A and B are shown apart, each in its own frame.
Chain A
Amino acid sequence: MAELGAETTQRARPLSPHLQIYRPMLTMMMSIVHRITGAALYFGLLLLAWWLVAAASGPNAYAAFEWFMSTLIGRVILVGYTWALMHHLLGGVRHLIWDTLHGLDPANRELLTLSTLIGSITLTLLLTVVGYLAVGGPR
């Protein structure tokens, strides 16, 4: 590129639209959040691996994992992981629908996008309550 640039006359080239040009829109923000939740889940798999390795290692290792998950940080991570998983799951379904060229008109794409956001928050709250009851309330 360097040799090419040196010989090409410098002139103002049209710049493709990017983040600082677009007005923030729901579909755009949710596209960004989809990538962020994906990256979060990428590191979140460590948590799943830790859980499984702890279970395979023995009661002491498993107790250490359970202790960590019972702390405030552990609980926040678990709820955050749950939301990221639900959001990426629903967002992924939305993208699969869009891949089939359905739901791309303005009304439907907004509806789909809003549904995934509301759906992910609802599912996270539901799973958090169910999980809270399953571990027998505060510990």
Chain B
Amino acid sequence: MSAPLHMRTPMRRVRGLGAAHSGTGHFWHQRITSVAGVPLTIALVLIVIALLGRSHAAVVQILGSPLIAILMLLFIINSAYHMWIGMQEIVLDYVHDDRWKLPALIANTFYVVVVAFAAVYAILKLSFGV
């Protein structure tokens, strides 16, 4: 093998880092968001069931009420982070070529931010009635 370019051993350079080069923090965050996701998903299902078949005016009023809006915002933000980690994990499992991996990881971030931002903006608009 050629001479090493630096004095750090390969072990030192990879310790604590996975394929995403960011360590095990996401593993733990995925567990936290899954625990939070249980009550939030139940809340979402109850809210959607309660709104089914109602008029637009009624839906706007209910979605904009503080308790419902807060639950919806928590569900969206929690789910967005959870699914961002999850899709990153899927990409890292199946895509090994950097030419595809990096664009896929960036696309994942863009998609999650755009969808979550749109949903959050809609809830805020319904809440503040602008």
Chain A interface (Cβ < 8 Å from any Cβ of B) = 3-4, 7, 35, 38-39, 41-42, 45-46, 48-49, 52-53, 55-56, 58-59, 62-63, 85, 89, 92-93, 95-96, 99, 127, 130-131, 134-136
Beta-carbon contact of A38 and B31 below 8 Å: no
Chain B interface (Cβ < 8 Å from any Cβ of A) = 1-2, 31, 34-35, 37-38, 41, 45, 49, 52-53, 56-57, 59-60, 63, 72, 76, 79-80, 83, 86-87, 90, 115-116, 118-119, 121-123, 125-126
Beta-carbon contact of A56 and B125 below 8 Å: yes
Separation of A35 and B85 alpha carbons in the complex (Å): 12
Beta-carbon contact of B56 and A63 below 8 Å: yes
Separation of A42 and B57 alpha carbons in the complex (Å): 29
Separation of A95 and B125 alpha carbons in the complex (Å): 37
Q: Which residues of A contact B56 (CB under 8 A)?
A: 55, 58-59, 62-63
Known: A3-B1, A7-B1. A39 touches B87 (CB 8 A): yes
Known: A45-B79, A45-B80. A55 touches B122 (CB 8 A): yes
| Chain A minimum-CB-distance residue to B33 | A92
Separation of A52 and B126 alpha carbons in the complex (Å): 9
Known: A89-B41, A96-B35, A99-B31. A52 touches B52 (CB 8 A): no
**Nearest CB of A to B105, in Å:** 14
**Nearest CB of B to A14, in Å:** 20
Q: Which residues of A contact B87 (CB under 8 A)?
A: 39, 42
Q: Which residues of B contact A56 (CB under 8 A)?
A: 60, 121-123, 125-126
Beta-carbon contact of A93 and B118 below 8 Å: no
Total cross-chain contacts (CB, 8 A):
85
Beta-carbon contact of B31 and A96 below 8 Å: yes
Beta-carbon contact of B34 and A96 below 8 Å: yes
| Chain B minimum-CB-distance residue to A7 | B1
Q: Which residues of B contact A46 (CB under 8 A)?
A: 115
**Nearest CB of B to A112, in Å:** 16
Beta-carbon contact of B115 and A92 below 8 Å: no
**Nearest CB of B to A120, in Å:** 12
Beta-carbon contact of B90 and A92 below 8 Å: no
